[in-house]
Amino acid sequence: MNYRLNRALSAIALGGALAFPAWASGDFADGEVRKVDKSAGKITLKHGEIKNLDMPPMTMVFVVADKALLEQVKAGDKVQFRAANQDGRMTVTEIQASR
């Protein structure tokens, strides 16, 4: 493929990826912060379904992958978050305020 055409297509693809925020891709779960424990690196979330973990809606405590994530939220905040099972521990890997 022509070098210029390839670069143009790459720019279009990148621009399309940037046009949609990560939470719109469907891999974020909705939740409400119930409690933040910064010293323990834990957050309690009342959440909707977490599809990648096959988890129904509930309220539970998660550890966070990075304690700095807890600086972004407080009790009562509506959020979108990503969670993963890391070595048997339900872990929030990303979190952001709802839009």
Taking the domains of the chain in order of start, what are their residue ranges?
Answer: 22-97
Residue 68 corresponds to which amino acid?
A
Burial class (CB in 10 A: 0-12, 13-18, 19+), 11: exposed
- Model confidence at 99, pLDDT cuts 50, 70, 90, reads confident
Q: Which pTM was predicted? A: 0.73
Looking at the DSSP assignment, which residues form a beta bridge with residue 92?
A: 64, 83
Q: What confidence score (pLDDT) does residue 16 get?
A: 46
Indicate left, alpha or beta for 77 from its phi (over 0: left) and psi (-120 to 50: alpha). beta
Provide the CATH topology of domain 22-97: OB fold (Dihydrolipoamide Acetyltransferase, E2P) (2.40.50)
pLDDT in tens, 4-57: 545 555 544 444 444 444 444 458 999 999 999 999 999 999 999 999 999 999
Under 8 Å CB-to-CB from 96, ≥6 apart: which residues?
A: 23, 28, 72, 79, 80, 81
What per-residue confidence (pLDDT) applies to 58? 98
